Structure 1
Amino acid sequence: MREKSSISGPRPRMSRARKGAAVGLSLAALAAGATTGAAPASAQPKNAPAPAADCSAAYRIEQKLTGGTTWRMCWRYDGKAGLVLEKISYQPKGETKPIKVLNSARLGQIHVPYDDGSVEYDDLTGFGFAQGLMNLAPGECPGGTIKTVKVPEAWDPQNADVKGLCTTTRARGHAYRMQGDAANKVYQAQSKDLLVYTVNQVGWYEYMTEWRFQDDGTVTMNVGATGSLSYDDYDAGDGRGWPIGKGDRAKATSHSHNVFWRLDFGLDGSTKNRIEQYDSAVTAPASGDPAPKTRTTRTKIAKELAGDAKNYRWWRVVSATGKNKDGHARSYEIVPGASTKYPGRSYTKHDMYFTEYNKCEKFATHNPGCGNGHPKSVDKWVSGQALTHPIAWMNVGFHHIARDEDQQPMPVHWQGFSIVPRDVTAMNPLTPSELAWQNGHWRPRS
């Protein structure tokens, strides 16, 4: 699905190969919008207590969910990255103040190479992703609020205000279900998420960028690609495309979507987070053993890392300052989603990067902001530097081989990952009050 040959409105015309740069864009421009949050506030001092989102009402998002958890954050709109969420915290019931989770969260790049080798695109830094913010109809944000965003370097300066940011809640189903031994009571709860999303058009694609905040503290980041198959992109050769329509002659060119996210953790208000990697090994049972054995080992990641997701491997970001009520260090586990890793470029050969914070390193590929010969891709930033303020970059790939069902319009195909609280609270933050005494190695009451 290549670039549209023409785009409605004042956007520049582009050929199907997206030739030419898409109008000049401002790297750090902010948008003036409406939700509850303000212009981006200054970075939190290290080791500061976790505050509520301290931005003006126009840029603040605050939502109390049915389980009693309140999420708070600020938002702004960047001239290349699009929606940026900052100062993200959540406050479950039983906690006296918000727990800071992230300093900022945003997309780091959408890299789109085509199977025939003719073109590849970097949609955030090269093709006007931010300027393609779409107006949302009320029915697209059921039960929520659509906020107005002032788009930096808008293609039509007279129409820079776009009703393009939806904040709403959406049912998730069961949060938990448990039936007691006596079988006389079922503990169950239905959950809702806070959902924040935008839709950005790049040529034929319409990218849905959504952030889901659960009442148990989990955050899920997804990008969904939808829109249309390009009518003039049916010339792929065998092995590089799929026949769409009658017969076997017109083949839509296959391609990849390699989406990067950039997360700046600020657990408990500190940038001094630690990175740990966990690997488990399973050994076959020895003679006489009843079953295989599994042993899990921890590796402290003290220096920058280019990591690969593997079976029985996971990472967590650990607070250097905060502990839960059981005395355990608060942390967030990174849970990669399904991915087809693209081997064609050095920066897409790994799933996970941890780099030391550098204010100019904002985009995983074709990063425009550093200058002075500084490398332009995330893989080159992994140079052995000690991690004192780690930045997490997640790469999730999807190989899109078109199918008849992709027309018309194309169903959304999603890719993404989650971060899940690990020991942030002493118990499930949704625990019903009757079970709150069952913490740790409990014994049935007489």
Structure 2
Amino acid sequence: MTVQVIIEAVGRAELTAERVREVAGAHPAVLAHLEGADPGRLIVGPAVALGHAPDEGAPFRAGVFDPVSNRGVELRGTLDRPEEAQVLPSAHRPNPRHEELRAAAAILRADERFPAGDDVLVYQPMPPLADLDNPDGTTTRRPTLGVYDPSGATRHRVVAVDVGAGVVDWSPAGVSVAMHHPGDCESHLPVPVESLRDRGGPDQVRLRVLDGTTELWNMIVVRPRASTPTNPGDGSGVELREVRHRGRLVLRQAHVPILNVQYEEDGVTYRDWQYEETRFSATGTEPVGWGWRLCSEPPRTILERPDNDAGNFQGVAFHHDGHELRIVSELAAGWYRYASEWRLTDDGTIKPRFGFAGVRNPRTCMRHRHHVYWRFDFDVEGSANDVIEQFDDTGSTVPQAVPIVREVARKRRHPALFWQVTDKTSGRGWRIHPGEHDNTTDPYGVADLWFLRHHPAELHDGNTGPDNRAMLNRFVNGESVSATNVVVWYAGHFRHDQNDPEPHQGHVVGPDLVPVT
């Protein structure tokens, strides 16, 4: 019998960006901290409800940022009474989005130092901001832009633009301004910021996979542009919620809230964002509108298309090959390109996958390491009754089960073979088997797994420091993880070396979550 894939648009419990702006503009504490900022210029986003089963009174957190003063606050309240939200200062500085980048690009192209030529591209580089420290203690917000001049003496430059003042800094401090590597890495041209666009469509859908009358999978799928956490946070790629297999709840939430890069040669680090959808190839139908496509053939991201970084689609694509459903999107963060993917087999195995690639630039010619951190909010059988075990190598065919009863961080090293989360009563659950390319952490990556008790607000590590390191150890405080709601963070590590004899482009990492029945 043919497997049927069905998607339907669904709403979610949240405050819209417009409502957040309205609340912030009328809140005395917000206006006092931001010194009377114009509500119309504030950078805000929707505030998604926190918790397992949010209702109209669920808690929320929302970032409010004034780009003129370069200051922000965080609202903490409930959806039914947002005007009573607590207001706290926030060090989070949101990355520039499309409108701000296009405004900066217009200023850059009007600068007399901008190179001539129709083939000059303006793209978003790394880091996304190069803010200026002023003598009086204030800072000026300055988005960065990359200038690619294929016929110039220097093919790539990174500049900073003060959008408010209309000024371009061609030598911003702390940024690799002129990148003099003898050649570019990657074959794909960067996408000009002027071409970036969002065609709308739903933020999330209900996905159902049916084999005849049997429902194999049922879940909510959130597209990257609406994924949590945001403000603070940088999105999380394709996000899954309320994941059920054959009617049984497996995961309340599954996503990638943290994605880091560290360069070996000069120690530069980046925290990459995962909300920016970019184009890839997907052929099929759009039953709920733009941004969601049911494919008649396998979709192809930059990992499967070594010749170009173009495509006919932007959003989330679905394809079932007869035994496995693939959910995939392509993400952009500066010159990096990522494939955010989930593979769901009919028998219940969940395969989170993350792939790494890039567009033309000299920076990624330098050896660097990517660190991707999945967050799995398990709720097996739908009750707060989960237990965690580590299975160790004993030298025989039967591994030894070792209970984990307190919050802890672990590395993937002998004797550990795999880990398991099961419902204490039924014994059913899922095993976490490391992927063959997931590697073991280095000091910057911190650890490979964290086993934590669930707390609604622990979606983001809160690191706003210069090294972007994953600060998940701050959540480890000795709480019990026995017969309760548990969260597992799982890290994959990939070393990107242009000179490595193995293909560096298209590398994919990720574990297998295998059902225990």
Measure the CA separation in 2 of the matches of 1:11 and 1:405: 42
Structure 1 position 229, deviation (Å): 4.0
Structure 1 position 381, deviation (Å): 1.4
Range that drifts further, 298-307 or 74-83: 74-83
Measure the CA separation in 2 of the matches of 1:32 and 1:379: 38
Structure 1 position 279, deviation (Å): 1.2
User: How big is each residue's C-alpha offset from its partner over 1:28-58, in whole Å with a ceiling of 9 and x where there is no partner?
Assistant: xxx9844xxxx8xxxxxxxxxxxxxxxxxx6
- State the partner residue of 2:277: 133
- State the partner residue of 1:249: none
* Closer, same or farther: CA 122–365 of 1 in aligned 2, 3 Å: farther
- State the partner residue of 1:195: 326
Answer whether contact 2:277 2:330 (CA < 8 A) is retained: yes
Structure 1 position 357, deviation (Å): 1.3
Measure the CA separation in 2 of the matches of 1:294 and 1:196: 35
Measure the CA separation in 1 of the matches of 2:500 and 2:103: 29
Measure the CA separation in 2 of the matches of 1:314 and 1:404: 29
1:383-394 alignment, distance < 5 Å: 383-387=477-481, 388-394=484-490
Measure the CA separation in 1 of the matches of 2:502 and 2:336: 12
* Closer, same or farther: CA 147–84 of 1 in aligned 2, 3 Å: farther
* Closer, same or farther: CA 206–66 of 1 in aligned 2, 3 Å: farther
CA RMSD of aligned residues (A): 3.6
Answer whether contact 1:144 1:166 (CA < 8 A) is retained: no
SS in 2 for 1:350: coil
Counterpart of 1:109, as a letter, is I
Counterpart of 2:207, as a letter, is I
Answer whether contact 1:256 1:342 (CA < 8 A) is retained: no
Measure the CA separation in 1 of the matches of 2:491 and 2:369: 12
* Closer, same or farther: CA 315–258 of 1 in aligned 2, 3 Å: same
Point out where structure 1 has 5 or more consecutive residues left out of the alignment.
1-6, 24-30, 40-57, 92-97, 151-161, 171-190, 235-251, 283-292, 324-328, 369-374, 424-446
* Closer, same or farther: CA 11–223 of 1 in aligned 2, 3 Å: farther
1:216 to 321, 343, 347: 347
Structure 1 position 295, deviation (Å): 5.4
1:72 to 218, 224, 234: 218
SS in 1 for 2:264: coil
User: How big is each residue's C-alpha offset from its partner over 1:94-135, in whole Å with a ceiling of 9 and x where there is no partner?
Assistant: xxxx111111111121110011234101113xxxx31x2124
The alignment's TM-score, normalised by the length of structure 2, stands at: 0.52
2:421 to 306, 309, 317: 317
2:263 to 114, 117, 124: 114
- State the partner residue of 2:452: 355
Structure 1 position 88, deviation (Å): 0.6
Measure the CA separation in 1 of the matches of 2:271 and 2:407: 24
* Closer, same or farther: CA 147–193 of 1 in aligned 2, 3 Å: farther
Structure 1 position 403, deviation (Å): 4.1
Measure the CA separation in 1 of the matches of 2:103 and 2:433: 38
Measure the CA separation in 1 of the matches of 2:330 and 2:443: 28
Counterpart of 1:389, as a letter, is N
1:22-421 alignment, distance < 5 Å: 33-34=201-202, 59-65=205-211, 70-76=216-222, 77-78=226-227, 79=230, 80-91=235-246, 98-124=247-273, 129-130=274-275, 132-139=276-283, 148-149=290-291, 163-170=314-321, 191-230=322-361, 232-233=362-363, 252-282=365-395, 293=396, 296-311=399-414, 313-321=417-425, 323=426, 329-337=427-435, 338-345=437-444, 348-364=445-461, 366=463, 377-387=471-481, 388-403=484-499, 411-421=505-515
- State the partner residue of 2:180: none
Structure 1 position 366, deviation (Å): 2.3
Measure the CA separation in 1 of the matches of 2:505 and 2:285: 23
Answer whether contact 1:278 1:298 (CA < 8 A) is retained: yes
SS in 2 for 1:349: coil
SS in 2 for 1:138: coil
Point out where structure 2 has 5 or more consecutive residues left out of the alignment.
1-97, 105-122, 132-141, 144-198, 293-312
Structure 1 position 67, deviation (Å): 12
- State the partner residue of 1:428: none
Counterpart of 2:490, as a letter, is M
Structure 1 position 336, deviation (Å): 1.1
User: How big is each residue's C-alpha offset from its partner over 1:208-242, in whole Å with a ceiling of 9 and x where there is no partner?
Assistant: 10001101100000111123241x338xxxxxxxx
Identity of aligned residues (%): 22
- State the partner residue of 2:175: none
SS in 2 for 1:268: helix
Answer whether contact 2:237 2:340 (CA < 8 A) is retained: no
Structure 1 position 66, deviation (Å): 8.2
SS in 2 for 1:310: coil
* Closer, same or farther: CA 32–307 of 1 in aligned 2, 3 Å: farther
- Which structure is richer in relative contact order (CA contacts within 8 A, separation 6 or more)? 1
Answer whether contact 2:124 2:335 (CA < 8 A) is retained: no
- State the partner residue of 1:10: 102
Measure the CA separation in 2 of the matches of 1:146 and 1:20: 39
Measure the CA separation in 1 of the matches of 2:462 and 2:338: 18
* Closer, same or farther: CA 194–380 of 1 in aligned 2, 3 Å: same
Counterpart of 1:138, as a letter, is A
SS in 1 for 2:511: strand
Answer whether contact 1:341 1:349 (CA < 8 A) is retained: no
Answer whether contact 2:338 2:357 (CA < 8 A) is retained: yes
Answer whether contact 2:389 2:402 (CA < 8 A) is retained: yes
Counterpart of 1:350, as a letter, is A
Measure the CA separation in 1 of the matches of 2:200 and 2:348: 28
Answer whether contact 1:146 1:164 (CA < 8 A) is retained: no
* Closer, same or farther: CA 350–201 of 1 in aligned 2, 3 Å: same
Structure 1 position 64, deviation (Å): 2.1
* Closer, same or farther: CA 194–364 of 1 in aligned 2, 3 Å: farther
Measure the CA separation in 1 of the matches of 2:354 and 2:287: 20
2:130 to 17, 20, 25: 20
Measure the CA separation in 2 of the matches of 1:307 and 1:270: 25
Measure the CA separation in 1 of the matches of 2:243 and 2:497: 36
Counterpart of 1:110, as a letter, is L
Answer whether contact 1:65 1:192 (CA < 8 A) is retained: no
Measure the CA separation in 2 of the matches of 1:216 and 1:350: 30
- State the partner residue of 1:173: none
